[in-house]
Amino acid sequence: MPTPNDPSSATPPTRAQRQQCWKARDAYFDCLTECGIVDPNGMDHKPEVQEKGSKCLALKKEYEKDCIASWVEYFNKRRVLEVQQAKYLKLAKEQSGK
């Protein structure tokens, strides 16, 4: 069976493959949250983030194995945007006095 990241596979992931991807993503993102890491891309480029999130490396490998590369990119960007959006909403609520 082709893996989700197999470029030769033109078929979309099955329901079971999608569910496995989401499960791996959630486990990895939970680990990042526990380590105080917002941007998953920092795990690839910033030594201080790599050290902080070293316990998440196995989960990162599972996530990247179980999800299509374009999904990994989308989920990573979406995570950062959701955190930023939550901060802005909190700030707006505080400033409005509601």
Q: Please state the domain extents for the chain.
A: 15-96
Q: Mean of the pLDDT values across residues 40-55?
A: 82
Query: Which pTM was predicted?
Result: 0.79
pLDDT surpasses 90 at 51: no
Q: What is the DSSP string of the chain?
A: ---TT-TT--SPPPHHHHHHHHHHHHHHHHHHHHHT---TTHHHH-HHHHHHTGGGHHHHHHHHHHS-HHHHHHHHHHHHHHHHHHHHHHHHHHHHT-
Q: Mean of the pLDDT values across residues 3-30?
A: 84
Give the tens place of pLDDT for each residue, 66-86. Answer: 999 999 999 999 999 998 999
- Comparing 17 with 43, the larger pLDDT belongs to 17
Residue 45: what pLDDT?
Answer: 78
Q: Mean of the pLDDT values across residues 9-25?
A: 92
Mean pLDDT of the chain: 87
